[in-house]
Amino acid sequence: MSVRMRPRFLEEYIGQEHIVGEGKLLTRAVESDRLSSLILYGPPGTGKTTLAHCISQRTNAQVERINAVSANVDDLRRIIAASQNRFATTGRKTILFIDEIHRFNKAQQDVLMPDLEQGQLILIGATVFNPFFALTGPLLSRSMVFELNPLSPAEIIRILNRAIEDKERGFGHLRVSADPTALAFLAQTCDGDARRALNALEIGCRTTAPDADGIIHFTLEVAQESIQKKQVVYDRDGDAHYDTASAFIKSMRGSDPDAVLYWMAKMIYAGEDPRFIARRICICAAEDVGNADPQALVIANAALQISEFIGLPEARIPLAQAAVYVACAPKSNAVYLGIEKALGDVKSKKTQEVPTHLKDASYRGAKRLEHGKGYKYAHDFKDHYVDQEYMPVNAQYYAPTDMGQEKDIKQRLSRGKHKTE
Long-range residue pairs from 221-228, CB within 8 A, at least 24 positions apart, any chain: 222/182, 223/179, 223/182, 223/183, 223/185, 223/186, 224/185, 226/186, 226/200, 226/201, 227/185, 227/186, 227/189, 227/190, 227/196, 227/197, 227/200
pLDDT per position as a tens digit, 27-82: 998 888 888 899 999 988 899 999 998 988 888 889 999 999 999 899 999 999 99
CA 205/CA 199 separation, integer angstroms: 10
For the chain, counts of helices (H) and of strands (E): 18, 7
The domain limits of the chain are: 10-147, 153-227, 239-328
Tell me what pLDDT residue 78 has: 93
CA 142/CA 240 separation, integer angstroms: 26
Tell me what pLDDT residue 272 has: 86
- Is 239-328 in the same CATH topology as 10-147? no
Looking at the domain 239-328, which fold is it? Zinc Finger, Delta Prime; domain 3 (1.20.272)
Tell me what pLDDT residue 420 has: 44
Looking at the domain 153-227, which fold is it? Helicase, Ruva Protein; domain 3 (1.10.8)
Tell me what pLDDT residue 190 has: 87
Q: Which of 263, 313, 289, 340 is nearest to 301 (CA)?
A: 289
Q: Given 3-state DSSP classes, what are the helix, strand and coil percentages for the chain, each rounded to the nearest 5? A: 50, 10, 40
Q: Which of 287, 285, 330 is nearest to 304 (CA)?
A: 285
Tell me what pLDDT residue 421 has: 42
CA 128/CA 234 separation, integer angstroms: 11
Q: Which of 245, 143, 246, 231 is nearest to 193 (CA)?
A: 231
CATH class of 10-147: alpha beta
pLDDT per position as a tens digit, 83-138: 999 999 999 999 999 999 999 999 999 999 998 988 889 999 999 888 988 899 99
CA 147/CA 18 separation, integer angstroms: 9
Report helix angle 316-328 to 295-310, nearest 10: 170
Query: The whole model's pTM is what?
Result: 0.65
Give me the residues of the chain with pLDDT under 50, please: 420-421
